[in-house]
Structure 1
Amino acid sequence: MKKNSTVLDAIDLKILNIMQTDCLTTTSKLAEVLSMSETPCWRRLKRLEEEGFIQGYQAILNKEALGFEVTAFVHLSVDSHTEDVTRKLEEKITSCPEVVALYNVTGDYDFLIKIVCKSISLYTEFIEKTLRKIPCITQIKTSITLREVYDSRLLPLSART
């Protein structure tokens, strides 16, 4: 998403804060909390969606309860940074269901991937059958998490944003 030039006011920021905390909040509850009527509240929410400030809604699932025992962060180095090679690499990696996040980063590596798997053997299979088969990847470095201490998906919105 391109940076939006729309200026967000305090009410917009309150709406975004509420919705990122509980996306099931109804328009009537939102309007009540914001001390406004439902129609203008609904219009603001729709505008925030249409302008791309709200990209979608989803449930946050419990990885462990669903059997995902391995979370890994993988640093990749690549030998080519052309637009075509980068696009193909990104498409290949993001098409893998194990990949929950992909970042192009600065520093010693070119990409950082967050991967979740049900077992270490499935993680190993992903490395062997997927990453090691991508020709432009020159180095793979993995950190397996021991435990998740904190993982907030909330953006730090405030009136200063």
Structure 2
Amino acid sequence: MPQDARTIDATDLRLLAELQRDATITAQDLGECLNLSPSQAARRRQRLEAEGVVAGYLARLDPDRLGLKVQAFIQVQMAAHSPDAARDFARLLATLPQVVAAWTITGQSDYLLRVWCADLAELNRLVHGSLLPHPSVARVQSQIVMDQLKPEAGLPL
């Protein structure tokens, strides 16, 4: 068991599950869920935040209502595998707002990118105008999401 996990008890896990379900939950409601006073629940929440277990809070936005109609996963295979090439590619990704998540992965591809675009034309511009021209990129393969069968969920606690 990792060192950090030893300081998390069953009540903390229930608290974290509630925060994953609704990050705006009040200390009053959190206390009721956990059979704690609001101040005890708030102190536990603050401790988990201070320890970095709760890394931050995000609002889940509706992409469709924001005009984002195309979600895709893009696999990128690099031509060069030097530390400089990796840093340059990471800098490129930081400039692309369509890239909402990026991972280094094992297998034939080196990176997996999750992107949101307004339409297929924007996805095409992203691939052909930003990713493929990068000097370290050898190959790009995209998969367009047709439907999301399971919504994003929190971590398994």
With structure 2 as the length reference, what TM-score do the two structures score?
A: 0.92
Work out whether 1:138 is the aligned partner of 2:138.
Answer: yes
Alignment of 1:7-86 (within 5 A): 7=6, 8-86=8-86
**Native 8 Å contact 2:132 2:139 kept in 1:** no
**Which secondary structure state, in structure 1, belongs to the residue aligned with residue 62 of structure 2?**
coil
Deviation string, structure 1 residues 91-127 (Cα, Å, up to 9, x no partner): 2113311001101000111000011001111111111
**Matched positions, count:** 155
CA RMSD of aligned residues (A): 1.5
Work out whether 1:5 is the aligned partner of 2:4.
Answer: yes
- In structure 1, C-alpha distance between the alignment counterparts of 2:135 and 2:82, rounded to whole Å: 14
Fraction of identical pairs, as percent: 30
In structure 1, the partner of 2:104 is: 104
Deviation string, structure 1 residues 108-151 (Cα, Å, up to 9, x no partner): 11000011001111111111221022110001011111122223
With structure 1 as the length reference, what TM-score do the two structures score?
A: 0.90
**Structure with greater helix percent:** 2
* Cα 1:151–1:4 shift into 2, 3 Å: farther
Stretches (4+) displaced over 3 A: none
- In structure 1, C-alpha distance between the alignment counterparts of 2:127 and 2:137, rounded to whole Å: 12
**What's the CA shift for 1:153?**
3.0
**Native 8 Å contact 1:69 1:117 kept in 2:** yes
In structure 2, the partner of 1:93 is: 93
